Structure 1
């Protein structure tokens, strides 16, 4: 018995080591035998005798000639260039055409050589039999190949959600790979439920728990690229209630555009939980960038870099990238040069937004017509413990940008603001509200430049935001840190935010504050739980002490609020874009702002905390700190830094 197994394994190894040329040489005589057997079987089926000697005695020589003709025809159709491992529809069609030609050739021989005495239907039967035989042998060879490759491989069982065309393609790709073994389909279509597709049964989603237990499944693969965001959200929410990892195939746009293949799986991100169907952009609202010279400050940041990508796609005359970070500037410059069309110029400029003379020189040199001002310090705890630098950059830096734009006659300047600027409880929010006041005051002084602001909440995936932190903590095995169980935040994706900022900038008439529709608020605690579940883990708490990852509440960080707002006062007015609103903000009197900023520059230079707090309360409506700045700065530095990590 052992000797037989050894011989069998030796044969498997020998076959696996054969080159394609040698396998082709084996397949040719096999096809010859199949043709000969098919000829005999066609006659047998036609006359109902196992050995009709009265026919074969006259046509025995065809058992020798037909295989030679068949191999020649098959070779001319390229059948021996096909790889058995990837036998598909096009290969089968080619085999069918070759067999049809061989059958026609047999019919021609029988017609001109009446001595063969072949029944007229024999060539038709012969063509069908040889076609089925060749498909059968090649399918067996393909199955043997995959078995040979996977016989020592332990594949992870997975469930495929979606039994449509994409699901079938995904299963086919996974069968040829070595990582996953699809064991079942899930589909909401009741017409498919209970049927067998690609050798797997289709189940309703309600049976997922029993399937997970039966097959010991830890992964579910979504294969529905054409679903709307709302439908995907509902499915992901359903799956996120279970401790299974969820991955998805690329979107329909990526598949059709050739940017990805069906088997390029990625983890389902929390953006799938946003109930936000994308709104098509309004082409007319890109007038501020199309064919214009556009400058983006903070071009290497999360928002700034995405603004650059989307501006580049619209077709500006030139993009001027302005940033103080050498590496960030280098990265976005290289990326843009690889994706923009030749006529679009890309200029990378190192510099600080606090240097007004430098800004004016750059604007004049490149003939800048539109500025998107996205440069800012944005991390609440860091700015809270570095208030002077935070206000210097966010407020005085914006003042330098506004004055440079005004002095050089820039047509439009758009400030990227934040919901934390509304009744802020932290220095970062207050500094961004000061930046808004700078643009509003600049508009009061000039009619040459249109100044406007765009205010929105958190973006998913930006540097230092909660989502990348949760992902890192989950990857490290926890714990996941949440500041407070009742914290809620508004979220949108970076590409959507950037696209709306560009369109809002084109609608500005002077001094406008635009608000982006942020959708429904998201509970940070619920977000953490769903991210843990979508990663295939269970939450460890009092109800489940054997869970994988614990959620720890650390308390609100300095200056942090339970929820954010977008409106300072008054209602939000509709605009021509359904996701962009206009706020009616009444800024303080111009002289108050001018005097306040003169004092602001002085107190920053001498680092006078009491005076800084006084100016913030004077200029920023609703500013209130739960803790004095002096007290915060008096805390141990390690504790301050720990809150930001």
Structure 2
């Protein structure tokens, strides 16, 4: 009923405006005479009657009565122009034919009057619609009781405009945009949406003080980590709150919601080029397939599950050892993407009989193997478990994949497998060699994907730092010079899935990790983002390097070298060769007496595959 009343009111207003336009077109046409000649009044009446009916009908067909005009933009203006054009043409045609039938010597509607009718109609109809938006933005908005918080937006581009509009759409409950900051000299002293550009990043402190700014929003999604870090450091000196517009990863991973402005996070300081995924290529090898994901409850495995679910697999089998984590990811996926056939299997990958049973039951086409023991110091204290789980578990899965003719088997590896100094790293390097060897005699395409630390994963330093900061410190860093490669979870998993699409068999794909990050700098950034000053509010304590750790990680062994792929962020290491009998002897011994192996025996076994393991290494530390 409300809609009908609104439509009727708009039609009545339009009818009045149409008649004003019709009279104006004739009046302006004949203003040289000071009045409309009597002989043209009949033509005017016909024009007004025809125009009222035709224009309202056309406006209705073009949907001009079901739009919210307080949000009118160029799209609405074009709709008005199209509708007025059609209505004017119809009116002229009707008046022309009506005049012919009514009079022997008709006075047709002058051509100039038709043009004037079109112009006046666009002006009146367009003006009546857009004046509502003007009133909303310039009168009503000033009286909206929203927040008195003053907001400065860094970035006067598309993202900055989006941020300003987002604040307006929330009726300024989260603050009012006072100005923009942008380093482009051509934008200085100009305005966007009526909001001035107040300076460059060097002027942030001056603008914050001069305009009593309470909050700064960084609206530069494509900015480098160094740029974001510099802006963060500048703003911290001013004592203002910081927020940021989401980056590309948020969009790809589906993390973006109806509130695109969020608190700045440490991931924003890494600064990476956007990850582009060839959706058609990925969909080609995942869609319709039965896909296995081991370790599906973990941080990497669960994200692979989310990403794979986007491409409509025929069946998605979630495999894990921990029942709670598998239950959680299953419930999440069923809620978010209910149209997929999900299966959960609680499975210890060391259980060879169960592994083969599950492969035989579902006969997968693609396997993503993310299950592994990854914690370096913990595996130093439990070396036999690292050997059993990482090596034997992977062998069980790989040989089952071979037997049941899986198309593609993707094993998740780590940069710690390069020149390993830890038990965990050595087992992962052994796995890389194992699947390369198996690929040479199998129809299945076996590949490994090697990358570094993942921000936000269960083993990442970030959750540890956050807990320490929440307790008031100290934040513990092992060594002031320790550096690591980092990726976000969505970034890593998207590239893993893309690498699987590129697999020919036997490759070790290496993901471009960008520049390594010093752990100390990461800790300081996180402390600042939490609103504290490093070594003033929160102390940083150095604890010494733990067993098996390196000062820095590497992505390639000396003999590998890399070749590029068609994806700019993915490279391929040259294959390595190993005596098959050595691998067979290692796995045989582990199967026979794996649980009773001593630490020295584990090291000796791994040295048969990796002769340099646990030898003197300038980058290696406590053993």
Q: Partners in 1 of 2:614 and 2:394 — Cα distance?
A: 19
| Alpha-carbon distance, 1:324 to partner | 1.6
Change (3 A) 1:212 1:361: same
Q: Residue 413 of structure 1 contacts residue 450 of structure 1 at CA under 8 Å; is this kept in 2?
A: yes
The answer to whether 1:559 aligns with 2:548 is yes
What SS does the corresponding residue of 1:246 show, helix, strand or coil?
Answer: strand
The answer as to whether partners of 1:285 and 1:507 remain within 8 angstroms in 2 is no
Against the structure 1 CA distance between its residues 500 and 31, is the aligned structure 2 distance closer, same or farther, given a 3 Å change threshold? closer
Please list, as runs of the form range in 1=range in 2, the aligned pairs for 1:116-265 lying within 5 A after superposition: 138=132, 142=136, 146=140, 153-177=146-170, 179-206=174-201, 207-224=203-220, 227=222, 231-233=223-225, 235-242=227-234, 243=236, 245-249=242-246, 251=248, 254=251, 264-265=260-261
Please tell me whether residue 592 in structure 1 is matched to residue 582 in structure 2: yes
1-structure distance, mates of 2:341, 2:299: 22
1:526 is aligned, of 516, 521, 524, to: 521
Write the mapping of 1:81-96 to structure 2, written as runs, cut at 5 A.
Answer: none
Distance 1:130 1:411, change over 3 A: closer
**Could you tell me whether the CA contact under 8 Å between 1:616 and 1:623 is conserved in 2?**
no
Deviations 1:245-270 (A, max 9, x none): 23115659959x99967852123442
Task: Note the 1:323-338 alignment, pairs <5 A.
Answer: 323-337=320-334
Query: Does structure 2 conserve the Cα–Cα contact (< 8 Å) formed by 1:219 and 1:247?
Result: no
Which piece of structure 1 moves more, 171-180 or 561-570?
A: 171-180
Residue aligned with 1:539, SS: coil
Q: Does the Cα contact within 8 Å between 2:309 and 2:337 map onto a contact in 1?
A: yes
Report the Cα offset of residue 184 of structure 1. 0.7
Say whether residues 1:359 and 2:355 are aligned partners: yes
Aligned positions of 1:401-420 closer than 5 A: 401-420=397-416
Cross-structure match for 1:608: 598
Alpha-carbon deviation of 1:611? 3.0
Inter-CA distance 24–551: structure 2 relative to 1 (3 Å threshold)? farther
List runs of 5+ in structure 1 lacking aligned partners: 1-18, 39-69, 109-119, 629-645
Cα offset, 1:549, TM superposition: 4.1
Aligned match of 1:537: 531
Q: What's the C-alpha RMSD, in Å, of the aligned pairs?
A: 5.3
Q: Structure 1 residue 302 and structure 2 residue 299: aligned?
A: yes
| Structure 1 residue 185, shift from structure 2 partner | 0.9
Following the alignment from structure 1 to structure 2, what is the Cα–Cα distance between the partners of residues 462 and 278?
19
How far is the alpha carbon of 1:520 from its aligned partner? 1.9
Alignment deviations for residues 58-106 of structure 1 (CA, whole Å, 9 cap, x no partner): xxxxxxxxxxxx9xx99998999887976766788999999999xxx9x
CA distance 1:532–1:388, shift in 2 (3 Å): same
Shift of 1:465: 0.8
2:49 maps to what in 1?
none
Q: Is the 8 A contact 2:17 2:125 kept in 1?
A: no
| 1:379 paired residue number | 375
**Which residue of 1 is the match for residue 342 of structure 2?**
346
CA spacing shift, 1:509–1:555, aligned 2, 3 Å: same
Q: Cα–Cα, structure 1 residues 247 and 448, in superposed 2: closer, same or farther, change >3 Å?
A: closer
Q: Which residue of 1 aligns with 2:275?
A: 278
CA distance in 2: counterparts of 1:96 and 1:366, whole angstroms? 60
Q: Confirm or deny: 8 A CA contact 1:306 1:495 kept in the other structure.
A: yes
Q: CA deviation at 1:283?
A: 5.8
CA distance in 2, matches of 1:183, 1:335: 41
Mapped contact 2:454–2:492 kept (Cα < 8 A): yes
Residues 441 and 593 of structure 1 are in contact (CA less than 8 Å); yes or no, is this contact kept in structure 2?
no
Indicate conservation of the 8 Å contact 2:606/2:613, yes or no. Answer: no
Which residue of structure 2 lines up, in the alignment, with residue 583 of structure 1?
574
Alignment partners' CA distance in 2, 1:614 and 1:473:
38
Larger mean CA deviation between 179-188 and 575-584 belongs to 575-584
SS of residue in 2 equivalent to 1:558:
coil
C-alpha distance in 2 between matches for 1:143 and 1:327: 51
Cα deviations by residue, 1:265-314 (Å, 9 ceiling, x for unpaired): 12344255334343554966876545543322112222223333444444
In 2: Cα distance, 1:441 partner to 1:501 partner? 21
Q: Which residue of 1 aligns with 2:262?
A: 266
Moved more, 185-194 or 348-357: 185-194
Other-structure match for 2:35 = none
Equivalent-residue separation in structure 1 for 2:479 and 2:597 (angstroms): 32
C-alpha distance in 2 between matches for 1:124 and 1:596: 87
1:453 alignment partner in structure 2: 448
For normalisation by structure 1, the TM-score amounts to 0.70
Distance 1:580-1:474 versus aligned 2 partners, 3 A rule: same
Q: Secondary structure at the residue paired with 2:450?
A: strand
User: Is the CA contact (8 Å cut-off) linking 1:423 and 1:623 kept in structure 2?
Assistant: no
Match of 1:623 among 607, 610, 614: 614
Aligned to 1:642: none
CA contact (8 A) 1:246 1:267 kept: yes
Question: Which residues of 2 match residues 27-46 of structure 1 at below 5 A?
Answer: none
Structure 1 residues 481-490 or 273-282, which shifts more? 273-282
Note if contact 1:249-1:262 (Cα within 8 Å) is conserved in structure 2: no
Distance (Å, rounded) in 2 between the aligned partners of 1:127 and 1:507: 62
Runs of 4+ in 1 over 6 A off after TM superposition: 19-35, 73-85, 87-101, 122-137
| Stretch deviating more after TM superposition (411-420 or 132-141) | 132-141
Deviation per CA, 1:403-459, whole angstroms, max 9, x where unpaired? 323444444433211111223232222332333344345457x44444332222122
Cα 1:590–1:250 shift into 2, 3 Å? closer
State the secondary structure of the residue aligned to 1:431. helix
CA shift digits 1:92-122 (9 cap, x unpaired): 8999999999xxx9xx9xxxxxxxxxxx9x9
TM-score (normalizing by structure 2): 0.73
Contact preservation (8 Å) 1:241, 1:530: no
Select 2:422's aligned residue among 414, 426, 448.
426
Residues 412-491 of structure 1: matches in 2 within 5 Å?
412-440=408-436, 442-443=438-439, 446-474=441-469, 478-491=473-486
SS at match of 1:605: helix
| Paired residue secondary structure (2:185) | coil
Among candidates 317, 323, 327, match of residue 320 of structure 1 = 317
SS at structure 2 position matched to 1:435: helix
